Chains A and B, each alone.
Chain A
Amino acid sequence: MANPFRLPTESTPPTTASAMVRAALGALGVLVLANLAAGPFLAQATPNEGYRLIAEKWRLVEAQTAPVDWLLLGDSSCNQGLDPAGFRAAGLGSALNLCTIGDLLTLNDAWMLDSVIAHAGPPRRGVVVTHVYDMWHRAPNPSLLGKVPLPWGFWAQGAAAIKLRPEQQWRVLLARYAPLYEESASLATALRAGPGAWSPGPVTDAAGFKAEVEANPEAVAKDVRAHQAFVAKAHFKLSAANEAGLEALLTAADARGFDVYLVNSPLIEGLDADPAFTGYYADVVASLQAHVAGHRRAHLLLAAPMTFPAAEMVNADHLTVAGAERFTARVIDEIGRSAADGAGQPR
């Protein structure tokens, strides 16, 4: 051992090609092992609630053995906006909330419906599909597609088939098989938080509903500004991926004999007074109406959005549990009204 305070030198040690190759292969092995370990660890401990939500909802899909009366599909506004307990309480039978997040588009709704039908058969009464108005123009997020637990290549199969460019497929591959790289921020956060945070509880209840108790007026105000900025510049065009997902849902309803109710998400009050918003929103509704019109079991509910005060909202389109209770009741009411108007009858 040298005197550690002496000035060190640098001498190049001898090596051989085989030693270098062995070192490289060994290092690669360590990397692969670490990546393999990161997967199960993150599945359990990821602080990314969105990923946990997708995993939870797909576990619910796979656990279905008997048909439910109502399937609730859609994005996170629906995840914490439509409570299956409200359907039971209203005497509409069993309901399952499978809503995930917006960037999975209607594609995930269609894939989930297919999977539920394959596992348990079609819903006995209907499917409610709830999305925020600013989801319909979006393209798929490859990182989120990587979290859909279907066999590789699933996006190109079935009724809701889409094409992914090679770089998008690469992102799906990374999201699915390289958690060490793709979820590095989650990994760092989880490790920094320590063992106490490595078993976060489920995001939703047994029926898939997320009860958010606390309103967040600051987040609401910030989100309203974001929405206003968005509609001020945007021109609506239904994305091809959403069109594929939507058509798959509506076609399945026709073929299997259940009703599909498209529902616009709850919104913060006052946003609908913005002329840019109303223009954009009207375009979204017109587009959805055009699709609904082509299918006999399809209905559009809440063409005018149901609005809520900031005291019942977490952001501009996500409700607290108190708001969710009112929203669920209104949707049930609208479904009933739609049925009374002769919905479900061949047109």
Chain B
Amino acid sequence: MVFTSWVFVGFFAVVYPVYLGLQRHFRAQNLFLLVVSCIFYGYWDWRFLALLGGSTVVDYTLARWIDATEEPRARKRLVTASILMNLGVLGLFKYFNFFADSAVALLDTLGFSSTWTPIRVILPVGVSFYTFQALSYTIEVYRKNLKATRSFVEFAVYVTFFPQLVAGPIERSTHLLPQVQTPRVVRLPEVNAGLSLILWGFFKKLVIADNVARVANEVFDHHRSYEGLDLVLGVLAFTLQIYCDFSAYTDIARGLAKLLGFDLMLNFRIPYLALSPSDFWQRWHISLSGWLRDYLYIPLGGNQGGAWLTYRNLAITMLLGGLWHGASWNFVLWGSFHGAILIVYRALGAAPEREPTPVSVGGHLRRFAQLGVMFTLTNIGWVLFRATTVAQIAWFFTHSGVRTSGHTPGFAADLALAAAPLLLVDLAQALRGDLAVLARLPTPARALVIGLLLVGLTAFGVRTTSEFIYFQF
């Protein structure tokens, strides 16, 4: 069930009044949330519910056992079992096809040509998100930062909470579970902020992302027909598309959660204003980068073992971060690229985001230069991410330039029209240092902006909307 579909609008229109009607009985609310979350998820394919249910039961049980024993080796064995089970699920469903295809290709290369066709495994929606979220729970229980909940319903709601089940944010058990375990209060300011997030999310997805997707898809799918500035515009279109698509899902998820009285973590903080790779990862998909930092990078030793160990840890973390998106060489390249630029920036000692506000013209110019370099690097990364073959990547890097064609004005106009509202909002957020600028506007200005967003959605929203890009992960 996609947020930007009429089916979901109908679903929420039924769910919300019932949820509010159960306001005084939060355990009944939890049970209701569990049921509707299963309906929400099962709408894609009811068979996926078995996997989700199975891993939830196993993690719940393992966490209870971890909590029940003080014996360190037993606790370690149990948390290892949870990690293996969750990563096994991920590995089977996410990487089976890749390894099976690779094995067949290898056999063919070695001359063992066969007619064997490997079985195909369907990728359950959101499996990468909910397995990481479930892992956060067993690891935190193991670390004794959290008591294992006795209530299966509470844990199941934590794993299946429908606003963020299929594309995050990947919540931490220490943040979300306590909210499940206590009565929620739905307050007007949160409703106001939530509605603003939902509207802005719909606008970003349907008006910006889905419109620029036409340019991005055209250029990437027929890359050999384009060169020069058209390729650059195609990359910029994808840069805009993936940000608006993914952050739109997060905004709608966080907005829905606010309407339900929950607070979900931030996932984006104006990422294209990043001045360095480490700054970028504090702004982009924060819930994943934070998860990888806390459960992978730091356990590997983080930056405590000297320069070379730090570089190794960064490379491993980013490589696995790339692989988290899927078993494909372009994700490996993308993760490795981000690992490499993190290492280079670290080696050069460049951490501009920690500097105070520049006062001189030179200081400002330097900031903008840093911004330009990081934005360019980010775009290079998106070429690796979006491309489907190495030849395609090579084409983009060898044929991009400033030469124009008959397509250029149209692509540029589409991109400029779509980017303008995003730039305005992101700029306002950056200048105020507050992401809630829409909810904070004075009433007349707010009415005007909401009205214009509704006009944009009505007139320019793509009706045959595609699913959110991050559903495939």
Bound: A4/B431 CA distance, A: 5
Name the CB-closest residue of A to B449: A27
Chain A residues near B356 (CB, 8 Å)? 3
Contacts of A187 in B (CB 8 A): 459
Whether B270 lies near A8 (C-beta < 8 A) is yes
Residues of chain B with a CB closer than 8 A to A19's CB: 443
Interchain nearest-CB distance for A242 vs B (Å): 30
With both beta carbons as reference points, the residue of chain A lying nearest to B433 in the complex is identified as A2
Inter-subunit contact A23/B446 (CB<8 Å):
yes
B434 CB contact (under 8 Å) in A9, A26, A38: A9
Looking at the complex, which one of A3, A27, A181 makes contact with B357 (CB distance below 8 Å)? A3
Residues of chain A with a CB closer than 8 A to B266's CB: 10
Cβ-Cβ contact count across A and B, 8 Å cutoff: 128
Q: Which of A29, A181, A188 contacts B447 (CB 8 A)?
A: A29
Tell whether A17 is near chain B: CB-to-CB under 8 Å: yes
- Would you call B190 and A26 a contact (CB within 8 A)? no
Cβ distance A59 to chain B, nearest Cβ, rounded Å:
26
Task: Point out the residues of chain A lying under 8 angstroms from B320, CB to CB.
Answer: none
Contact with A along B434-464 (1 / 0, CB 8 A): 1110011001101110111011001111010
A13 lies within 8 A of B269 (CB): no
Asked if B189 and A188 sit within 8 Å, CB to CB, the answer is: no
Q: Does B273 have its Cβ within 8 Å of any Cβ on chain A?
A: yes
* Identity of the chain B residue whose Cβ is nearest the Cβ of A13 in the assembled complex: B440
User: A residues 18-61 with Cβ under 8 Å of B?
Assistant: 19-20, 22-31, 34-35, 38
Q: Residue among B432, B435, B455 with the most chain A CB within 10 A? A: B455
On whether A4 and B188 interact (CB within 8 A), knowing A10-B266, A13-B436, A15-B439, the answer reads no
Contact of A12 with B446 at beta-carbon distance under 8 Å, contacts A184-B460, A187-B459 already known? no
With both beta carbons as reference points, the residue of chain A lying nearest to B358 in the complex is identified as A3
- Does A14 make an interface contact (CB < 8 A)? yes
Q: Which of B275, B283, B448 contacts A30 (CB 8 A)?
A: B448
Do A6 and B433 form a contact, CB below 8 Å, given A14-B189, A17-B188? yes
Residues of A within 8 A of B460 (CB): 184, 188
Which residue on B lies nearest to A33, using beta carbons? B451
**CA–CA, A13 and B440, complex, Å:** 6
Residue contact B273 to A20, C-beta cutoff 8 Å: no
Which chain A residues border B85 with CB–CB below 8 Å? none
* CA distance in complex: A6, B371 (Å): 12
Given contacts A13-B439, A20-B192, A188-B459, contact A28 B451 (CB under 8 A): yes
Q: How far is the CB of A46 from chain B (nearest CB, A)?
A: 13
Q: In the complex, which residues of chain B have a beta carbon less than 8 angstroms from the beta carbon of A5?
A: 273, 275, 352-353, 367, 371, 430
Instruction: Bits for B412-440, please: 1 = Cβ < 8 Å to A, else 0.
Output: 01100100000000010111111110011
From A7, A16, A26, A29, B269 is in contact (CB under 8 Å) with: A7
| A110 part of interface (Cβ distance < 8 Å) | no
**B282 on the A face (CB < 8 A):** yes
Contact with A along B182-205 (1 / 0, CB 8 A): 000000111111000000000000
A184 to B, closest residue via Cβ: B459
The interface residues of chain A lying within 8 Å CB-to-CB of B190 are 12
Residues of A within 8 A of B270 (CB): 8
| Chain A residue contacts of B435, Cβ below 8 A | 8-10
Query: How far, in angstroms, from A181 to B139 measured CA to CA in the complex?
Result: 50
Give chain A nearest CB distance to B233 CB in angstroms: 16
Q: Which residues of chain A have C-beta atoms less than 8 A from B461's C-beta?
A: 184
Contacts of B440 in A (CB 8 A): 13
Residues of B within 8 A of A11 (CB): 434, 436
Contacts of A7 in B (CB 8 A): 269, 282-283, 353
| Chain B residue with Cβ nearest A2 | B433
Please encode chain A, from 238 to 264, with 1 for each CB lying within 8 Å of some chain B CB and 0 for all others.
Answer: 000000000000000000000000000
Closest chain B residue to A31, Cβ basis: B454
Known: A23-B443, A26-B444. A180 touches B458 (CB 8 A): yes
A1 at the interface (CB under 8 A from B): yes
- Taking a contact as CB atoms under 8 Å apart, the answer to whether A10 and B458 are in contact is no
Tell which of B269, B352, B436, B459 touches A38, judged by Cβ atoms closer than 8 Å: B459
For the side of the interface on B, what is the size category?
35 or more
User: Within the complex, what minimum Cβ distance (angstroms) separates A250 from chain B?
Assistant: 41
Main secondary structure of the interface of A (DSSP, over half): helix
Q: What separation, in Å, do the CA atoms of A146 and B444 have in the docked complex?
A: 34
Q: Which residues of A sit under 8 angstroms from B430, Cβ to Cβ?
A: 2, 4-5, 8
Contacts of B414 in A (CB 8 A): 192
Q: Which residues of A contact B432 (CB under 8 A)?
A: 1-2, 8
Contact B436 A25 (CB under 8 A): no
Which residues of chain A have C-beta atoms less than 8 A from B463's C-beta?
A: 184
Given contacts A3-B433, A5-B273, A180-B458, contact A12 B189 (CB under 8 A): yes
Q: Which A residues lie within 8 Å of B433 (CB)?
A: 2-4, 6, 8-9
Report B46-89 CB contacts with A as 1/0, cut-off 8 Å.
Answer: 00000000000000000000000000000000000000000000
Expressed in whole angstroms, the minimum distance between the Cβ of B342 and any Cβ of chain A is: 17
Which B residues between 191 and 238 are near A, CB-CB below 8 angstroms?
191-193
Q: Is the CB of B450 within 8 A of A24?
A: yes
Among B413, B447, B458, point to the contact of A26 (Cβ < 8 A): B447
- Which residues 181-217 of A have a CB within 8 angstroms of B? 181, 184, 187-188, 192
Whether the Cβ atoms of A31 and B282 lie closer than 8 Å is: no
User: Closest CB-CB distance, A197 to chain B, in whole Å?
Assistant: 13
CB pair B459 A15 closer than 8 Å = no
Closest residue of A by beta carbon distance from B258: A12
- Given known pairs A22-B443, A30-B451, A38-B459, the reply for A12 and B193 (CB within 8 Å) is yes
Complex contact B434–A10 (CB within 8 A): yes
Instruction: Please name the residue on chain B nearest to A192 by beta carbon.
Output: B413
Q: Which residues of B contact A28 (CB under 8 A)?
A: 451, 454
- Interface pair A23/B273, CB less than 8 Å apart: no
A1 to B459, CA, bound (A): 34
A52 to chain B, nearest CB (A): 19
Closest B residue, CB atoms, query A194: B413
Contact A8 B434 (CB under 8 A): yes
Please name all residues of chain A whose beta carbon is closer than 8 Å to the beta carbon of B436 when the two chains form the complex. 10-13
**What are the residues of chain B within 8 A of A3 when measuring CB–CB?**
356-357, 433
In the bound complex, residues from chain A placing their C-beta under 8 Å from that of B367 are 5
B189 close to A15 (CB less than 8 A): yes
Measured between beta carbons, the chain B residues less than 8 angstroms from A20 are 188, 191-192
Top 8 A-B pairs, shortest CB-CB distance: A30-B451, A26-B447, A2-B433, A27-B450, A4-B430, A27-B451, A3-B357, A10-B435
Known A10-B435, A13-B439; 16 more pairs at CB < 8 Å:
A2-B431, A3-B356, A4-B273, A8-B269, A8-B434, A12-B192, A13-B436, A16-B188, A20-B188, A23-B443, A23-B450, A30-B452, A34-B451, A180-B459, A184-B461, A192-B417
18 contacts between A and B (CB under 8 A): A4-B427, A5-B353, A6-B357, A7-B269, A10-B436, A12-B189, A15-B189, A15-B439, A22-B447, A27-B450, A29-B451, A31-B451, A31-B455, A31-B458, A38-B459, A180-B455, A187-B459, A192-B414
Q: Mark B residues whose CB is within 8 Å of A.
A: 188-193, 266, 269-270, 273, 275, 282-283, 352-353, 356-357, 367, 371, 413-414, 417, 427, 429-436, 439-440, 443-444, 446-448, 450-452, 454-455, 458-461, 463
